[in-house]
Chains A and B, each alone.
Chain A
Amino acid sequence: MTTIHLLLWLILLYYIALHVIYLLLVLLGSWQVRNYHCGITFTEFQRIGASRLTMPVSLIIPCFNEATIIESTIQNALRLNYPQFEVIVISDGSTDGTIGMLKERFNLREIERFGRRHITTEEVIGVYESHDHPNLVVIDKVNGRRADAINAATAFSRYPLLCIIDADCVLDTDALLHLARPFLQDTRVSAVAGIVSPSNGLSVKNGEIVGYGFPKTLLGINQEIEYARSFQWARIGLCRLKSMLCISGALLLIKKSLFVEIGGSWPQAITDDIEFTMRLNRWIHDSHREGHPRLAFAPDAVCYTEVPETLRQYASQRNRWQRGTMQALRRNAGMIFNPRYGMTGLFGMPYFLIFEALAAVVELSAWILMMICLVLGIASGFEILAMIFLAYILGVFLSLTAVVITESTRLRAASWNDFWKLILAIFLDNLGFHQIHLIIRVIGTIQFMMGRTDLGAAMTRNGNHSSPTPITT
């Protein structure tokens, strides 16, 4: 009895600690977002676009069997508003005719181009340039996972900044300008992350966003809230606390010299972005560089990515994320509670371990414990319901805080219809979806413990938002 009571208290304390941190991040995140927007002067981004100090960017798009959507992604990338950039599309051993399709659509010709191989990768089969777009390079290589493709593309990049996105990403026209701003503001900035949001409700024509909206399914809208919570306040708050340990692979701008120095992405990683961000943080502390390199977050640089709308794909993706988180933590375990890594070691890494990686296990334990209490008669049905309601209302409260921040930015719901759908989804989230997510993550944890390190089933992209048409020059 006493043990069960003690466990119940521990779980309650865990929840209180978690939500106090969340609340702190909400406050910090909203304060940071406000400060960021108020610090932007009139025509600042026009000036960044015109300045010779704005560093050119190599935009890297790794893809594997993405023939259905890659064309639209390239069209979108070529339309970006940025003074000087190149688009490097790297097909990681695609077997769906991606290269053939790209050759035809973008009028590609094979060239002899040799890159300086900083990082060992799988063999590059061919490099192509577009007759129509001088800033488009397509690389064909032997399959070796996303991280390997990024590393290979780095060797062929010409510019000092690397922007890495996913094959299904749609970037806001000014996203690169917004991402580049912190580099001009502070020379210590080494990498910048931006906002990632679901693209399922967007209307994209010829690579240009022509309409905004939310996903049509409840699962999609549910992820809209999840992304808002994660990006609108959690990441920016964590960034302020030097604890941003997951920069999404869907949008990252980083100095090439730094990327190479760290050794690039780790090809064996289940989620290369999480592992890379942790290693990046470790390098920042280990390198003892003058001027202390730092990471920044641009809350107005937006990238839209396709989120799964079927339960099977959702499960596969979240299972991979969970295993990836565990793997990255294990690989960088030396940072956890290590004062040598400052706030990152003393707060960021423990937070990531206790409240991100192990959250599902703790929460499932709480459910099981409550059931045991009910069966053994230690707690009444009312008491259990009160506990469940507390967990529910905490989730609702935090999601609402994310909506407050979102509604005061340009990422607000495009229509009242979407707005009400979002509110409805917030109230429904904890009545099933959250629990399913919980089970998926616990399964992921167990599978990782049992040594599963594959990438799982590849997500089938629908590319519903896009309607590519031939580009004429």
Chain B
Amino acid sequence: MNLLTIVITTAAILTVLSIILLLLIILLRVFTERKLERASDFRKRALPVLIAFAEGKADAETTLAILGKGPSLSLQLLMEESDAMGRERSRKIQPLFAGFPFEKQMIRDLESRNWQRRLHAADRLGYIGGARAIPLLMTALRDELIGVRFAAARSLTRLECGEAVESILHSLDVPGEVSQRRVAEILFPLGTKATEPILGVLENPSGNDAVLSIAARVAGMLRMKQAVPSMTRLLNHQVVNVRLNCIRSLASIKERSCSAGIAALAEDPSWEVRCSVMQALGSRLDAREQIPLLLQALSDQEWWVRHNAGEALIALGDQGIKSLEEASEHHVDAYGRDMSRQILQQHGHLKSTQESLT
């Protein structure tokens, strides 16, 4: 083919495409401008009525009549205001969601093959609520996509559905520290409604270690004293994450009676577990009786364990500081002496040590 023909044909095609693209951009801009303007106008009209309704100054019929002029904009506005108003006031505007056919739309979207539709449906159902929301969200907990399952779990928590805790735990039994902490954060707002199911999981472990690990973490976040016996038992669990979360949770609950059980893990093969043990024995449990163990841990092979042991001794007050000062000079291990000095220096205690020496 002739070079010139190729050049001219390509240039002609691109010229036509560029003109089409330019027209498209102009149209897109016109439509976007109009859409934004409409949304802004609607908001100006609907928001005062919605606030009045939440304050009991407007009736449902008037409010719905105004909101009905823009159903999709209304959904957005209702969701935004639900969040902004706080739990008590948002309950008052909850019946307004029923005035629109949102639920039907969400049911359709939850069955869609498009993951984005499923994701947003699972997310919005938490605001829309309604009689069928909970069973639908429970189904969404079995979605193939983890993001949809997370959204469904958040919605169930928003709807304060305590019965869903176990299903949420099993649907989000993802490995990895961060993912498990995300699940724990989702369950935390349920508060006392989560107590029974979490206790059930801790007392009768199903064999799913991720579930157990998350349950232990939530128990700590909720300061569940009832979970102390089962978590103490789980300190000997074979999975590192379970042991780790049990130590952290028992420390959060400040259950001093378990300090001996926690101290028993000072020789754990996992350095992360040993780290948490040192942290727990210090500021959290104030376990002065474990000072010899903390001094011994100053010579641990891992820097973080040695550091945490030193910090724990500082947290134990005068007794711990004195032991650390002695360790800085007389510890059998050079690493132990070095770490003691570092920690004392960081906390401004090294000077006194030097003075006492002179």
Q: Which residues of A contact B (CB under 8 A)?
A: 5, 8-9, 12, 35, 38-39, 41-43, 46, 51-53, 184, 187, 383, 386-387, 389-390, 393-394, 396-397, 400-401, 403-404, 407-408, 412-413, 416, 419, 423
Contact = CB atoms under 8 A, between A and B. Distances in A.
B131 interface: no
Given A42-B79, A184-B182, A393-B15, A407 B28 contact: yes
A386 B25 contact: no
Interface in B111-151: 116, 119-120, 123-124, 127, 147, 151
Contacts of A403: 25
A397 B7 contact: no
Given A12-B6, A393-B15, A52 B185 contact: yes
Contacts of B15: 393
B319 interface: no
B22 interface: yes
Nearest to B127: A42
Nearest to A8: B3
9 tightest CB-CB pairs across the interface, nearest first? Answer: A38-B116, A390-B11, A41-B123, A400-B21, A393-B14, A397-B18, A386-B7, A187-B178, A397-B14
Contacts of A400: 18, 21-22, 25
A394 B6 CA distance: 14
Given A39-B116, A386-B4, A397-B14, A407 B185 contact: no
Contacts of B18: 393, 396-397, 400
A383 B21 CA distance: 26
Contact of A386 (B11, B29, B116, B178): B11
| A contact face: mostly helix, strand, loop, or mixed | helix
Interface of B: 3-4, 6-8, 10-11, 14-15, 17-18, 21-22, 24-25, 28-29, 32, 79, 83, 116, 119-120, 123-124, 127, 147, 151, 176, 178-179, 181-182, 185
Given A39-B116, A404-B25, A408-B28, A397 B17 contact: yes
B338 to A, nearest CB: 15
A52 B220 CA distance: 15
Contact of B4 (A41, A52, A383): A383
Contact of B3 (A9, A38, A423): A9
A413 B18 CA distance: 19
A52 B177 CA distance: 13
Nearest to B5: A386
A62 B307 CA distance: 32
B29 A407 contact: yes
Contact of A46 (B22, B83, B147): B83
B29 A401 contact: no
Given A42-B124, A187-B176, A400-B22, A53 B11 contact: no
B28 A41 contact: no
A213 to B, nearest CB: 16
Given A39-B116, A423-B22, A386 B151 contact: no
Contacts of A396: 14, 18
Contacts of A387: 7
Nearest to B29: A407
B151 A41 contact: yes
A389 B10 CA distance: 10
Contacts of A413: 29
A53 B188 CA distance: 14
A176 B3 CA distance: 51
A401 B21 CA distance: 7
Contacts of B7: 12, 383, 386-387, 390
A380 B349 CA distance: 87
Nearest to B24: A404
B119 A41 contact: yes
A397 B179 CA distance: 43
Contacts of B83: 43, 46
Nearest to B179: A187
A9 B29 CA distance: 40
A227 to B, nearest CB: 17
A407 B32 contact: yes
Nearest to B178: A187
Contacts of B22: 400, 423
B13 to A, nearest CB: 9
Given A390-B7, A419-B29, A404 B123 contact: no
A52 B22 CA distance: 46
A393 B17 CA distance: 10
B178 A184 contact: yes
A376 B262 CA distance: 89
30 contacts: A12-B3, A12-B6, A39-B116, A39-B119, A39-B147, A42-B124, A43-B83, A46-B83, A52-B185, A53-B178, A53-B182, A53-B185, A184-B178, A187-B178, A187-B179, A386-B11, A387-B7, A389-B11, A390-B10, A397-B14, A397-B17, A397-B21, A400-B22, A403-B25, A407-B25, A407-B28, A407-B29, A413-B29, A416-B29, A423-B22
A258 B14 CA distance: 45
Contacts of B6: 12
Contacts of B17: 397
Contacts of B120: 38, 41-42
